[in-house]
Structure 1
Amino acid sequence: MNRRVLDSLAILALCAFCVLGGSAPLAGWAAAPEELKLWPGDAPGEANFQPPSSKPAPPRNDGITRLGLITEPTMTILRPSADKANGASVLICPGGGYNILAWDLEGTEIAAWLNSLGVTAAVLKYRVPRRDKDVPHTAPLQDAQRALRLLRQHAADGNLDPQRIGVLGFSAGGHLTVMTGTHWDEATYPKQDAADELSCRPDFLIPIYPAYLADERTPGPLNPLVRVTKETPPTFLAVTHDDALRGLNAAQFYIELKKANVPAELHIYTKGGHGYGLRPSDNPVSSWPQRCAEWLRTQGWLAPKG
């Protein structure tokens, strides 16, 4: 049996577990998975939100759990076993076009893989569908910034290193990941409590097949909102050549990271398309989790907590 098959079987086994707890306010972390509210009251602007009048799309028989109409954003904490935990943590942003969340494919299954590396995972249930049609990441970025601050505020509760908190996302969640790393110095919502005195800058970014970095139909420059500076966090990117123009757009993002002297790694695979998460296939892109784990190790993010 070759290594690719073995890797695929290992990933599939990891994807088989993930149980979510109920919603609770943030007051400390249990060992079991727990869903934690992000905001002490309504999320910013949510009191005026009018839900869409159209009926939700019927469920698809494709093995993906999709969540829609999120009005109370949360994050679900999933911990590695005590003997593996290394103090690193990652906020996971599922994709879905900023209209739904691919909750298992790009959320809880990713948490299981991160747990296998000793990393604590926080799966972000950010607000969808789009609140701002022109800038669809407006509300999700507020939720992501708040989640990062809460992770830092309560790092000691979970025996986490507040300087090893990354963000990983897919498709629209990959775009949100990039936004957290390029807009961390912007106040996107009014201060709620002491947590908002803390930095929301991620320590590293992992955008996987990120969307919306630039036009996805016609080759062109990066979106002006993708503002790379020397303070942009170290980044690992994975995408495929056959995923519209997302490979080209990811390459442009990598070039800007290189210009700013930001440590970065880019993998553009020949085949794989879009929306695969880490589920195994015969396509070369199925090896991205192994490459990402190697990057995390070489960058020191998986070192035992001192």
Structure 2
Amino acid sequence: MSIDRRTLFVGALAATAALPVMARAATAPVIAPRDPAETVDLWPGTPPGAPAALPVERLEERSAVADRPDRIITGVARPRIVHFTPDRPNGAAVLIAPGGGYRQEAFDNSGYQVANWLITHGYHAFVLIYRLPGEGWADRANVPLADAQRAMRLIRQRAARHGIDAERVATMGFSAGGHVCSDLSTRFATRCYAVVDAADRLSARPFCAAPIYPVVSMDLAIAHPGSREKLLGPNPGAALEAAHSTDRTVTPQSPPHFLVHAEDDATVPVENSLRLRAALRAAGVSVDTHIFAEGGHGFGVSRIAGLPVAAWPELWLGWARRTGLA
């Protein structure tokens, strides 16, 4: 049976009706900012494929509200994971990939804020600061995936010291970070870099994946043009487009997925999530899909109050429990 967008939206509304009153009231989660516990570099020394002149890291603050930062980062020469720890850990962890069109990373809106929400529910949260593919790195199209693979393996290598079940490490990503998330979930076994140490003997396959308003396809008909150009370069051929369209790299071994998108997203068309959903279903991979009428793009967990998409955090928490992550 085929399922159109209207059916998906109705299904999301039905799921919302079953949520607690607070979620139905379309309020954003209360998120108390917290400092990270540690920062872990992904690579010993210079990352692989480095240009002769390394990018220079820069931070820019976009928010005019003193207690609500909205920083972006460019010039990532030191890819890393920033670890936030819960007070009451549930033994699971989530690797978070911020968005930013592959030209920058909005690590507050789709990174630190998400991490601070997750730790209130018992999850260890690791925000991935990944290399940007248009900043001179060799094999540019695989650079974000290489960082995501390495991050997943390092989390698993360090799991015991943090009381994390090394199997129960999920991934979540937003916009272009949603592409990082789904690329990791479909190409976790693709060799993107030479073995560095014992961590690279570990699996990079996530336990489950949540691409949120994700960039998925490199097909010009629905691609986010900026992400496509930064990832693939100015004139990619059809083979390169296909290799980095995650709806075309799904396999039966891909982990369960949770998808969220708003139909009024004017930046990344909702068809990206719909194509990924169709590919996952065709491969026999479990996928929970929530398409909302309103929400736009870049809503994260802090720009959702009063909108239908305000339901997504509670929906994810319920899905994570059903999937066995928590």
Residue of structure 2 aligned with 1:8, choices 27, 35, 43:
27
| 1:212-231 equivalent positions in 2, closer than 5 A | 212-215=216-219, 217-218=221-222, 223-225=242-244, 226=246, 227-231=249-253
Asked whether 1:111 is paired with 2:115, we answer yes
Letter in 2 for 1:161: D
Q: Distance in 2 between matches of 1:217 and 1:64?
A: 31
Asked whether 1:38 is paired with 2:42, we answer yes
Asked whether 1:190 is paired with 2:211, we answer no
Residues 260, 217 of structure 1: CA spacing in aligned structure 2 closer, same or farther, 3 A cutoff?
closer
For the residue of structure 1 that corresponds to 2:177, the secondary structure is helix
2:144 equivalent in structure 1: 140
| 1:5-84 equivalent positions in 2, closer than 5 A | 8=27, 11=29, 13-14=30-31, 16-20=32-36, 33-49=37-53, 51=55, 59-61=61-63, 63-81=69-87, 84=88
Deviates more, 1:133-142 or 1:161-170: 133-142
Aligned CA RMSD, in angstroms, stands at 2.6
Letter in 2 for 1:257: L
Gaps of 5+ in 1: 21-32
Deviates more, 1:209-218 or 1:241-250: 209-218
Q: Distance in 2 between matches of 1:160 and 1:56?
A: 32
Deviates more, 1:86-95 or 1:131-140: 131-140
Asked whether 1:237 is paired with 2:259, we answer yes
2:317 equivalent in structure 1: 293
Letter in 2 for 1:173: G
2:288 equivalent in structure 1: 265
| 1:145-160 equivalent positions in 2, closer than 5 A | 145-160=149-164
Q: Distance in 1 between matches of 2:43 and 2:147?
A: 8
1:248 equivalent in structure 2: 271
Q: Distance in 2 between matches of 1:144 and 1:278?
A: 22
Q: Distance in 1 between matches of 2:26 and 2:262?
A: 19
Residues 58, 187 of structure 1: CA spacing in aligned structure 2 closer, same or farther, 3 A cutoff?
closer
Gaps of 5+ in 2: 1-20, 224-237
For the residue of structure 2 that corresponds to 1:46, the secondary structure is coil
The two structures have a TM-score, normalised by structure 1, of 0.84
The two structures have a TM-score, normalised by structure 2, of 0.79
Q: Distance in 2 between matches of 1:198 and 1:80?
A: 24
2:15 equivalent in structure 1: none
How far did residue 263 of structure 1 move?
Answer: 1.0
How far did residue 6 of structure 1 move?
Answer: 6.1
Residues 40, 56 of structure 1: CA spacing in aligned structure 2 closer, same or farther, 3 A cutoff?
closer
Contact 2:265 2:297 in 1 (8 A): yes
**Looking at both structures, which has the greater relative contact order when contacts are Cα pairs under 8 Å and sequence separation is at least 6?**
2
For the residue of structure 2 that corresponds to 1:289, the secondary structure is helix
2:124 equivalent in structure 1: 120
Asked whether 1:98 is paired with 2:117, we answer no
Contact 2:60 2:72 in 1 (8 A): no
How far did residue 114 of structure 1 move?
Answer: 1.1
How far did residue 137 of structure 1 move?
Answer: 4.5
How far did residue 48 of structure 1 move?
Answer: 2.8
How far did residue 183 of structure 1 move?
Answer: 0.9
Residues 153, 88 of structure 1: CA spacing in aligned structure 2 closer, same or farther, 3 A cutoff?
same
Q: Distance in 2 between matches of 1:218 and 1:73?
A: 29
Residues 285, 133 of structure 1: CA spacing in aligned structure 2 closer, same or farther, 3 A cutoff?
farther
1:25 equivalent in structure 2: none
Letter in 1 for 2:293: T
How far did residue 271 of structure 1 move?
Answer: 0.7
Contact 1:34 1:78 in 2 (8 A): yes
Q: Distance in 2 between matches of 1:175 and 1:35?
A: 23
Contact 2:60 2:73 in 1 (8 A): no
Asked whether 1:281 is paired with 2:305, we answer yes
Q: Distance in 2 between matches of 1:17 and 1:241?
A: 30
How far did residue 298 of structure 1 move?
Answer: 1.1
How far did residue 224 of structure 1 move?
Answer: 4.2
Q: Deviations over 1:8-52 (max 9, x none)?
A: 25x1x31x31214xxxxxxxxxxxx11111111111112535548
Letter in 2 for 1:290: E
Letter in 2 for 1:286: A
